[in-house]
Amino acid sequence: MSFLSPQDLCHLGSTNQYWRLAVQDPLLWRYFLLRDLPSWSSVDWKSIPDVEIFNRAFSEINDNTLYDYMAIYRKSCQQMRRSLKSNRPKYRAVTSFLQSLVTQAEPRFAMFGPGLEELDESLVVKMMTCPETLLIADLPLRQIHGIGSGISFYFNNNQKFNILTLYSTTSVERKRARREQTVTVNKMFYQESSIEGNHQAVHYNVIAQVKKVCEVVDGFIYVANAEANKIHDRQDELAHILAMIDPALGPQNRPVLFLSCTSYDGVKRIPCVYMAHQLQLNQLRQPWMVQDTVAANLNGLLNGVEWLLEEVEHKNAQ
C-alpha cells in the first residue's frame, strides 16, 4: 500500500469494509504525513497538524494516545482539503437580488514583515510591475510619514482591493542596512515593560501612525523570510505580529495571510507547516493561512490573495 498515493488509498478504502480497515494503518499514514508535509505549499488555522506529531517517535506512542494519522493527513493535505472544503459560495458570487444592490467597499490590507526588506528580490516592486499577475487599479494615494503607501490592485481583473505597505524604517535606512549588511531598528514598534507575577515582561506596541492604519484595515498580510540559509528571530516576529493584530485596534476576527517568501525558485525554503509552528500561529485567535510565495515571479501570491478576499467576504456576510 505504501506504493499507492494517499488519494488512491482513500478510494480503495471506500470499496468495502475489509479495505476500509486495512488502509487505516497508522504507521503507513504517519509515513505519508512526514514524507509529504514539507512539499505542501499552504496550511491554515483549520488544517495545521499538531507539533507533537513531529516531536515524538512512533515507538514512543502507546495505544492510548495513538493519533489518527489518516484523518490528520486528509485534513492537512492541500488536495484533500479542497475536496473536503465546505460549499462556501465563490468570491463575488451574487446570492440574491438584494445583495447585488449593496455596494461592496474596497477591502484594505496592511502588509508588513521582514520579507519585504530582507530578500534579494522585492516583492512589492514585482507586484507593481507584473500586470499579467496583478493589475494596478490606482497609483499610491496615501502616504503615512514615509512609512508606506496604499496601492489598489485588481484580483483576476475584477475585484479591487488595497494594500498599504508598512516598512520598518525609511528607504534610505533600508538601503544602507542592505549595503552594510546590518540590522535596522524597526520604527513601527516601541517596547513597553510590565510586571507579570514575579517577572518583568516586555511587549511591543505600534506607533500612532501605524495604529491608525490597523484601525481601518480589513485584514493583514505578513511577509515572512522563508529562506532556510538566513537567521530568523521568530519570537520577535511573533511579538510584532501580536502588536499589529491587537484586538484593541480593531475587530478580532480579521484574517491574516502569511506569505512564506523566498527571493527565487530553487532557494531552499522552510516548509510552510514548519513556518507556522516557528511563528507559533496557534496563538492567534483569528483565521490565518501560510502560503508559499516566490518574490521573483509571484508564484503562490494569487492563492493567498484569493483566500484573504474570501475570508473578508465571509466575515462581512456574518
- Evaluate the CA torsion angle 115, 121, 125, 126 in order and state its sign: negative
Same domain, residue pair 33 and 127: no
**Does 260 reside within a domain?**
yes
User: Which of 154, 152, 72 lies closest to 108, judged by CA?
Assistant: 152
On whether both 277 and 144 belong to a single domain, the answer is yes
Same-domain pairing of 302 and 153: yes
pLDDT of 295 above 90 = yes
Where is the domain boundary, 38, 54, 87?
Answer: 87
Residues 118 and 261 in one domain: yes
Same domain as 121, residue 83: no
The per-residue b/e assignment along 114-126, b for 16 or more CB within 10 angstroms, e otherwise, is bbbbbbeeebbeb
Please, are residues 272 and 290 in contact by the beta-carbon 8 Å criterion?
yes
Amino acid of residue 313: E
In a domain, 96, yes or no: no
CATH number for the domain spanning 14: value is 1.20.1280.50
pLDDT tier at 97, thresholds 50, 70, 90? very low
Q: What is the mean pLDDT of residues 258-287?
A: 95
CA neighbor of 263 nearest in space, from 223, 236, 222, 234: 223
Q: How far apart, in whole angstroms, are the C-alpha atoms of residue 248 and residue 280?
A: 21
Residue type at 148 in one-letter notation = G
- Which residue among 87, 121, 148 closes a domain? 87
| Tally of domains within the chain | 2
284 near 45, Cβ under 8 Å? yes
Cα Rg of the chain (Å, integer): 22
Of the candidates 20, 38, 86, 8, the residue with the CA atom closest to the CA atom of residue 269 = 38
Q: What is the DSSP letter of 102?
A: S
Does a structural domain hold residue 94?
no
Q: Give domain status of residue 93, yes or no.
A: no
Distance (Å, whole) CA 303 – CA 108: 17
Helix residue ranges, H only, the chain = 6-13, 17-22, 26-36, 52-55, 69-76, 78-84, 97-100, 115-118, 123-128, 171-180, 208-216, 234-244, 272-278, 301-317
User: What's this model's pTM, rounded to 2 decimal places?
Assistant: 0.86
Do 121 and 81 fall into the same domain?
Answer: no
Residue 104 pLDDT level (bands cut at 50, 70, 90): low
Residue 248 maps to a domain: yes
Residue 185: CB atoms within 10 Å: 9
Taking the mean position of all CA atoms in its chain, how far away is CA 136? Answer: 22
What pLDDT band is residue 100 in, cutting at 50, 70 and 90? Answer: very low
Q: Does residue 264 fall inside a structural domain?
A: yes
For residues 295 and 179, membership in a common domain is answered with yes
Q: What is the Cα–Cα distance from 304 to 42, expressed in whole angstroms?
A: 9
- Domain residues for the domain of 178 are 108-317
Which CATH number covers residue 246?
A: 3.40.50.300
Q: Assess whether pLDDT exceeds 70 at residue 87.
A: no
The reply to whether 76 and 211 lie within a common domain is: no
User: Could you read off the pLDDT of 127-171 as tens digits, one per residue?
Assistant: 999 999 999 987 765 554 444 468 899 998 889 999 999 999 888
Are 123 and 198 found together in one domain? yes
